[in-house]
Amino acid sequence: MGEIMERRKTSSVCIGNVQVGGTAPISVQSMTNTKTDNVEATVAQIKALHLAGCDIVRVAVPDMSAALAIKQIKARIDVPLIADIHFDYRLAIAAMESGVDALRINPGNIGNIEHVAMIVTEAKKHHIPIRIGVNAGSLEKGIQEKYGGHPSPAGMVESALQHIAILEKLEFYDIKISLKANDVPMTIKAYQLMSETVNYPLHLGITEAGTIKSGIIKSAVGIGALLAQGIGDTIRVSLTGDPVQEVRAANEILKSLGLKEYGPTLVSCPTCGRCNIDLAAIAEEVEKKLSTVRKPIKVAVMGCIVNGPGEAREADIGIAGGKGQGLVFRKGEIIQTVAEDQLLTALFAEIDKLIEEEQ
Amino acid sequence: MGEIMERRKTSSVCIGNVQVGGTAPISVQSMTNTKTDNVEATVAQIKALHLAGCDIVRVAVPDMSAALAIKQIKARIDVPLIADIHFDYRLAIAAMESGVDALRINPGNIGNIEHVAMIVTEAKKHHIPIRIGVNAGSLEKGIQEKYGGHPSPAGMVESALQHIAILEKLEFYDIKISLKANDVPMTIKAYQLMSETVNYPLHLGITEAGTIKSGIIKSAVGIGALLAQGIGDTIRVSLTGDPVQEVRAANEILKSLGLKEYGPTLVSCPTCGRCNIDLAAIAEEVEKKLSTVRKPIKVAVMGCIVNGPGEAREADIGIAGGKGQGLVFRKGEIIQTVAEDQLLTALFAEIDKLIEEEQ
């Protein structure tokens, strides 16, 4: 398909066995919302996220019992784990000793350069990368004042550069950066600016995007716009709700830009006055059927015989409805004409055939 | 908020009282999926679309009874109407005589230049613009062969330029262009190429995007990526399902890029191990409350007292949960500390106050 963006060249880091940046595929991240020290619940959620297509999982580490729980969690999962830590260097050290694969911590917020150095020493020893995560809402006061008293893209970048400088002074370069805001244009601008300034890999996200219903659109627009410009090496969709939905949305964003093969694609026309069948109902049935399919096949459900097979020529398999009867087509070629009430059965049979075919 | 894109300069057309292109706000379009000659059903759907925030509505005109129905439909609606016509010049003439505000027809498909001239004469008389709508799936065979036997961005642009040339030869310039594919990168590339080639206003869309669930992400990525590059003057989200959902999604896309004020914004954090309240449930309650609000207020629902008020400083009103009790804040300033079970009540009271305040 169309190559729209030349991906920006970045350095890379390894989070467990997942490379981020460089030429690595763009990875999907999410974060648990269980209490991290509830090992059972946390492991269960991590497994659900992994199964849904999450490449890297992050957990909050607000206290020592969370940091220590990482050891038990790590023993039971096989997806890389990141510890999200605010301020306290002891939690970072403990998380690393517990076997975490990466940290998210802002060195400028730790307060004491000796403590930062202790973290860096431990991180170097275990090859643990650090994400610097700047958030528009918690931008340093001094920086905000410098840029008009409000969060701004330039301010966010300056904040990140200050954190980076602290790590670079300690000769630590396994760095990944995020610059999140809940304002989409501000986020886009900040990442654009950052990508012109440093070549560390970038973790994209729109923060506090909202509920599943409204947050998905904000995230798709913001993350999608950046990826379409070749910016971004790993993504996280933030939604208030089940994080499995974040993973599904993130993968759909990557899939839509041809950046990941992720399950089947359903192409269905919006229907118009030319459509003589209940296409929405049929499309929903097909979507249900496809929800159990992992193979990246392309299935078309089209409303009219005139445009259907031609417009969906790229589909591996498809149907087009007419008056009383419909067509089944494969790669644009009509293979069957069937009565309308047989359309779904015929399509499902062809889908099953496709799935069974050698990859 | 952040200005990320300089909007591409285009000419403009007027569809009824809605200007498209130039400096006009980016408008939202949708299309009915009723039988157009079922006037009752079509008018009802058009009104629902208009109410949901649709600026321009299109109807399919597959036959003469649909073309003639436009007269009755126009008499009962006050949103501009476009007739979507394939091939038949008589339907175009009849739709214009019935009072339609614009046409979507590809002059190269009409077959006879005399017939195109008749359409153009009538369109000039009534100041009716024409959208040329190129669809990757129905690209001319000759053009496809020229570009490797497949639909391609360059092929789509060439097809559009051929249609444009026919109209320009007849000294008709009230033109709007769309270049839709169900492949997002191909669509983005085609519009980018087109916007470097001509300065007619562009109608953006991803065609056959799929059902409401999966199609929204594809549309948000494709349309959002283009808008973020300053490309696009009017948009249509195509979904298989109730077109009111298309309008809602289109408006959310524009809102997320700061291109339209459209109802309230809910900011809510994704929750993490630091969160001690059932934020998802609270956010859903707040979303329900806001669904009846038209004023563009920003409401925050944050999981923790530490980061909440600061990160959501931009919100007109917000709450942050803690252990047993929570905060209500206005523009980052804490105005109330209340028991957890009083949080929603306190927030709703403040929202009501905000709504009643003078704009």
Residue B68 has pLDDT above 80, yes or no: yes
From residue A191, alpha-carbon distances to A142, A174, A235 in Å are 21, 19, 13
- Helix H or strand E segment including A97: helix A89-97
Q: CB within 8 A of B198, min separation 6: which ones?
A: B161, B164, B177
Mean pLDDT across chain A: 91
CATH class of the domain defined by B265-358: alpha beta
Phi, psi of B28 (to 5 degrees): -105, 130
Which member of A183, A238, A284 has the closest CB to residue B270? Answer: A238
Q: Do residue B266 and residue A214 have CB atoms under 8 angstroms apart?
A: yes
pLDDT in tens, A251-300: 999 999 999 987 888 888 776 666 667 788 888 889 888 887 878 888 98
**DSSP string computed for A306-340:** TTHHHHTTT-SEEEEE-SSEEEEEETTEEEEEEEG
Instruction: Report the gap between the CA of B88 and the closest CA in chain A (Å).
Output: 14
Q: Which of the two residues, A339 and A172, has the higher pLDDT score? A: A172
Mean pLDDT of B6-14: 94
Q: What is the pLDDT of residue B272?
A: 67
Judged by a CB distance cut-off of 8 A, whether residue A240 touches chain B is yes
**Partners of B267 in the β-ladder:** B300
Q: What is the pLDDT of residue A44?
A: 98
**What residue of B is the nearest CA neighbor of A239?**
B270
pLDDT in tens, A201-221: 999 999 877 778 779 999 999
Judged by a CB distance cut-off of 8 A, whether residue A258 touches chain B is yes
Q: What is the dihedral of CA B246, B248, B254, B259, to 10 degrees?
A: 130
Residue B27 has pLDDT above 90, yes or no: yes
What are the tokens at B79? 């949103």
Residue A333 has pLDDT above 70, yes or no: yes
Q: Do residue A313 and residue B137 have CB atoms under 8 angstroms apart?
A: yes
Supply the pTM of this predicted model. Answer: 0.88
Residue A1 has pLDDT above 50, yes or no: no
First to last CA, chain A: 19
Best A135, A267, A289 residue to mutate vs chain B (most B CBs within 10 Å): A267
Q: What is the pLDDT of residue B276?
A: 67
Q: Which of A180-194, B55-69, B269-283, B296-310 has the lowest mean pLDDT?
A: B269-283
Cα diameter, chain A? 77
Separation CA A339–CA A341 (nearest Å): 6
Q: Do residue A188 and residue B4 have CB atoms under 8 angstroms apart?
A: yes
Judged by a CB distance cut-off of 8 A, whether residue A32 touches chain B is yes
HEC secondary structure over chain B? CCCCCCCCCCCEEEECCEEEECCCCCEEEEECCCCCCCHHHHHHHHHHHHHCCCCEEEEECCCHHHHHHHHHHHHHCCCCEEEECCCCHHHHHHHHHCCCCEEECCHHHCCCHHHHHHHHHHHHHHCCCEEEEEEHHHCCHHHHHHCCCCCCHHHHHHHHHHHHHHHHHCCCCCEEEEEECCCHHHHHHHHHHHHHHCCCCEEECCCCECEHHHHHHHHHHHHHHHHCCCCCCEEECCCECCHHHHHHHHHHHHHHCCCCCCCCEEEECCCCCCCCCCHHHHHHHHHHHHCCCCCCCEEEEECCCCCHHHHCCCCCEEEEECCCEEEEEECCEEEEEEEHHHHHHHHHHHHHHHHHCCC
Q: What is the pLDDT of residue B2?
A: 39
Mean pLDDT of B7-25: 96
Mean pLDDT of B270-297: 79
Q: Which of A126-135, B173-182, B185-194, B290-299 has the lowest mean pLDDT?
A: B290-299
pLDDT in tens, B110-141: 989 999 999 999 999 999 999 999 999 889 98
Q: Do residue A267 and residue B307 have CB atoms under 8 angstroms apart?
A: no
pLDDT in tens, B184-217: 999 999 999 999 999 999 999 998 777 787 799 9
Separation CA B68–CA A268 (nearest Å): 29
Residue A324 Ramachandran class (φ > 0 left, ψ -120 to 50 alpha, else beta): left
Mean pLDDT of B54-79: 97
**What residue of B is the nearest CA neighbor of A67?**
B273
Sheet holding A333-339, edge to edge: A265-268, A298-302, A317-321, A325-330, A333-339
Identify the band that residue A2 occupies on the pLDDT scale cut at 50, 70 and 90: very low
Q: By C-alpha distance, which of B86, B52, B51, B48 is closest to B66?
A: B86
Mean pLDDT of A126-141: 93
**What residue of B is the nearest CA neighbor of A285?**
B211
What are the tokens at B304? 């923790």
Judged by a CB distance cut-off of 8 A, whether residue A284 touches chain B is yes
Residue A306 Ramachandran class (φ > 0 left, ψ -120 to 50 alpha, else beta): alpha
Identify the band that residue B1 occupies on the pLDDT scale cut at 50, 70 and 90: very low
User: Over pLDDT 90: what percentage of chain A?
Assistant: 67
SS3 A83: strand
Contact predicate B55/B79, CB 8 Å? yes
- Residue at token pair 């285009």: B10
Separation CA B335–CA B312 (nearest Å): 14
Q: What is the pLDDT of residue A18?
A: 97
Contact predicate B100/B127, CB 8 Å? no
- Helix H or strand E segment including A268: strand A265-268
Judged by a CB distance cut-off of 8 A, whether residue A36 touches chain B is yes
A134: DSSP letter:
E
Q: By C-alpha distance, which of A302, A301, A317 is closest to A351?
A: A317
ipTM (interface pTM): 0.87
Residue B292 has a CB neighbour count (10 Å cut-off) of 9
Judged by a CB distance cut-off of 8 A, whether residue B239 touches chain A is yes
Instruction: Report the gap between the CA of B171 and the closest CA in chain A (Å).
Output: 31
What are the tokens at A224? 């999608």
Separation CA A256–CA B209 (nearest Å): 10
From residue A119, alpha-carbon distances to A72, A103, A112, A180 in Å are 22, 10, 11, 24
- Residue at token pair 């973790």: A203
What are the tokens at A294? 């992992």
pLDDT in tens, A142-170: 999 999 888 999 999 999 999 999 999 99
First to last CA, chain B: 19
Identify the band that residue B6 occupies on the pLDDT scale cut at 50, 70 and 90: confident
pLDDT in tens, A12-48: 999 999 999 999 999 999 999 999 999 999 999 999 9
pLDDT in tens, B209-231: 777 877 999 999 999 999 999 99
Which member of B2, B59, B217 has the closest CB to residue A249? Answer: B217
- CATH label, A12-256, candidates 1.10.472.10, 3.20.20.20, 3.40.640.10, 2.170.190.11: 3.20.20.20
Q: Which of the two residues, A171 and B212, has the higher pLDDT score? A: A171
Judged by a CB distance cut-off of 8 A, whether residue A204 touches chain B is no
Separation CA A208–CA A187 (nearest Å): 12
Contact predicate A181/A136, CB 8 Å? yes
Q: Which of the two residues, B12 and B182, has the higher pLDDT score? A: B12
Separation CA B235–CA B227 (nearest Å): 10
Domain chopping of chain A, boundaries? 12-256, 265-358
Q: What is the pLDDT of residue A358?
A: 57
Separation CA A279–CA B303 (nearest Å): 41
Judged by a CB distance cut-off of 8 A, whether residue B244 touches chain A is no
pLDDT in tens, A82-112: 999 988 999 999 999 999 999 999 999 998 9
Separation CA B146–CA B126 (nearest Å): 38
Polymer length of chain B:
359
Q: CB within 8 A of A187, min separation 6: which ones?
A: A136, A179, A180, A181, A206, A222, B2
| Chain A residues lying within 8 Å of B151, measured CB to CB | 314
Q: What is the pLDDT of residue A273?
A: 64
- Residue at token pair 């939202």: B28
Q: What is the pLDDT of residue B325?
A: 82
